[in-house]
Homo-oligomer: A and B are copies of this chain.
Amino acid sequence: MILTLTPNPALDLTYRIDALQPGETHRVSAGPARAGGKGINVARVLHTQGFPVRAVLTAGGATGAQVVADLQESGIAHEAVPVGSPTRRTIAVVEDGDGTTTLLSESGAALSEDERARLHAAVQSPLPIASCLVISGSLPAGFPPEEIAAMVASSRSRGIPVIVDTSGPALLAAAAAGADLLKPNAAELAEATGERDLAAGAQALLDLGADTVLVSLGEEGMLAAHSASAWTRAALPRVLRGNPTGAGDAGVAAAAMLLAQGAPTAADLLRAATSWSAAAVLMPLAGEISRTHRELAVEVALHPYPDSEERP
C-alpha cells in the first residue's frame, strides 16, 4: 500500500468556458467538484491504475465534507483528520480551444498543534504496512518544516522509501532528512535553493542528503539527478497539448509505484514518470492519466545530462 499525505488538501472546482474575459459575466455549467491537492491526485492516479493506496488528509467544514464524500465515491481509501477551519477551494477556469487555464488557489488555514499531532499520528499508524510514503503539495500556513523532516526520518528508519513534492524550507528539510526522491519543478528548485542554475540547484538538494532529485521541466521533460550515479534527462520528442494540471502528480505516482517495488534504475524511473506525466496532460482532470501511457513510455528519449547540447 502506498501512503500519501496531503497536508493542505482542497476542493477542486473546474469550469470550462469559451474565453475568460476580465470584467465580464460568464454563464457556466456546474463543473466537477473533486477532492484535490497533490497527494490526493497521486493517490487517485495510483488507485485508478489498480495500486493499493491510502490517502491521509485534513478535512474541515462543508468543503471538507465534500472532499471526503468525493474520496468515498471514488473508492480511494483515506483517513481524513477532522480540523476546525474549512478545507480550502481551488477554482480552475479552462478555456476551450487552447486549454488556457486560470487558477484561483485559496491558501489553507493554519492547523492547531493538536490537529498537527493528529495528522502526524494518521501517517504513523499505517506507516509500518506501507511500501512507500508520498508527502505532496503545499503546507498550511505556519506548518513547521521540521514536522515534514520528522515524517521523512521516521519512514527512512523503517526502510520505507519516501517521496516529497513540496517547496521552500520544507523541501530543504526533507532533503536534509534523507528523502529518497524529491520532485520540485525548476521554479521551486531555484526558489528553495537560491541557485538559478538547474544543475547547481539539484546538486544542493543532493548535498543536503536527498538520494534522487527529479526536476520536472514541463514540455522539456524531466531531469533525474542522483547522489551516486550519472544524471539523465528524459523528454518526449513531441509536445502534447492538454491540461498540465496534475501532470507532476502523475509523475510522482509513477515514481512511487517503482520505489514501492524496489530500487528502480534511473532509466526506468524517468521513462515511467515522464510517460505518466505526459499521459496526465491528455486528460481533462487532475488525477487521471490516459491509457496511452504505455505507448508514450516507448517514445521517451533519454540523454545523459549535461549532454553535448547543454555544454556551454
Residues of A within 8 A of B (CB): 13, 15, 17, 20-30, 62, 65-66, 69, 86, 88-89, 91, 93, 95, 100-107, 109
Copy total for this chain: 2
- Chain A to chain B contacts (Cβ below 8 Å), 21 pairs: A15-B104, A17-B104, A20-B20, A20-B102, A22-B22, A22-B95, A22-B100, A23-B100, A23-B101, A24-B102, A25-B102, A25-B103, A26-B103, A27-B107, A28-B106, A29-B107, A30-B86, A62-B62, A62-B65, A91-B91, A91-B104
Using Cβ atoms and an 8 Å threshold, which residues of chain B touch A89? 13, 30
Please give me the residue from chain B that is nearest to A101 by CB atom.
B23
Bound Cα distance from A233 to B66, whole angstroms: 48
Known: A30-B106, A62-B65. 17 other contacts (CB 8 A): A13-B91, A20-B20, A22-B22, A22-B95, A25-B105, A26-B102, A26-B103, A27-B105, A28-B104, A28-B105, A28-B106, A30-B88, A30-B89, A30-B107, A62-B66, A62-B69, A91-B91
Bound Cα distance from A24 to B104, whole angstroms: 9
Using Cβ atoms and an 8 Å threshold, which residues of chain B touch A29? 106-107
Task: Determine whether the beta carbon of A104 is less than 8 Å from that of B26.
Answer: yes
Using Cβ atoms and an 8 Å threshold, which residues of chain B touch A26? 102-105
Bound Cα distance from A106 to B30, whole angstroms: 5
Bound Cα distance from A30 to B24, whole angstroms: 22
Bound Cα distance from A25 to B103, whole angstroms: 5
Bound Cα distance from A23 to B101, whole angstroms: 5
Please give me the residue from chain B that is nearest to A26 by CB atom.
B104
Using Cβ atoms and an 8 Å threshold, which residues of chain B touch A21? 102
Please give me the residue from chain B that is nearest to A103 by CB atom.
B25
Please give me the residue from chain B that is nearest to A23 by CB atom.
B100
Using Cβ atoms and an 8 Å threshold, which residues of chain B touch A101? 23
Using Cβ atoms and an 8 Å threshold, which residues of chain B touch A15? 104
Shortest distance between the CB of A8 and any CB in chain B (Å):
12
Please give me the residue from chain B that is nearest to A65 by CB atom.
B62
Task: Determine whether the beta carbon of A22 is less than 8 Å from that of B20.
Answer: yes
Task: Determine whether the beta carbon of B22 is less than 8 Å from that of A107.
Answer: no
Q: Which of B28, B102, B103 contacts A107 (CB 8 A)?
A: B28
Task: Determine whether the beta carbon of B23 is less than 8 Å from that of A102.
Answer: yes
> Among the interface residues A17, A91, A107, which one has the most CB atoms of the partner chain B within 10 A?
A91
Bound Cα distance from A93 to B26, whole angstroms: 12
Bound Cα distance from A93 to B15, whole angstroms: 14
Shortest distance between the CB of A156 and any CB in chain B (Å):
32
